[in-house]
Amino acid sequence: MEKEYAHFTISGQMNDLNDSVIYVVSSGLTDNMIIIDTIPCKNGRFFYKASSDSLTPLVVYVKEGEIWFTVWVKDMDHIVISGDVNIPELIMAKGNETNDLLSLFKEQNMDLLKEFRSLTNRKHSLESVHDSLSIEYNETKYTQRLSNINYQLREKAEDFIQEHPTSVASLVLLRDYLLDAEDAEHMQNYLSLIEGEATEVRLYKDLTSLCIKFLQSAVGSKAPDFLLINTQNDTLSLQSFEGKYLLLNFVTTSCEPCITESNDFVKIRKKYTNKKIELLSIVLEESEKTWLQLVKENNYAWHQVIDTLGWDSPIASNYNVTYLPSNFLIDKDQIIVAKNLTTDSIMAILGKTKN
3-state secondary structure of 76: coil
Q: DSSP character for 207?
A: H
| Contact (CB, 8 A) for 191 and 211 | yes
Distance set, CA 79 to CA 31, 57, 97, 168 (Å):
23, 12, 11, 16
Residues in CB range of 290: below 8 A, 6 or more apart: 253
- Provide, rounded to the nearest whole percent, the portion of the chain with pLDDT above 70: 92
3-state secondary structure 223-276: CCCCCEECCCCCEECHHHHCCCEEEEEEECCCCHHHHHHHHHHHHHHHHCCCCC
pTM of the model: 0.79
Q: How many CB atoms lie within 10 A of CB 144?
A: 10
Contact by Cβ (8 Å): 106, 90: yes
Are residues 169 and 105 in contact, defined by beta-carbon separation less than 8 angstroms? yes
Residues 135-152 pLDDT 10s: 554 667 788 888 999 999
List the pLDDT tens digit at each of the 355 positions of the chain. Answer: 445 558 999 999 999 999 899 999 987 544 455 778 999 999 999 999 999 988 999 999 999 888 999 999 999 999 999 999 999 999 999 999 999 999 999 999 999 999 999 888 776 555 444 555 455 546 677 888 889 999 999 999 999 999 999 999 999 999 999 998 888 999 999 999 999 999 999 999 999 999 999 999 999 999 999 999 999 999 999 999 999 999 999 999 999 999 999 999 999 999 998 889 999 999 998 888 889 999 999 999 999 999 999 999 999 999 999 899 999 999 999 999 999 999 999 999 998 887 6
- Which of 52, 65, 59, 58 has its CA nearest to residue 21? 65
Domains of the chain, earliest start first: 8-91 (2.60.40.3390), 123-216 (no CATH), 228-352 (3.40.30.10)
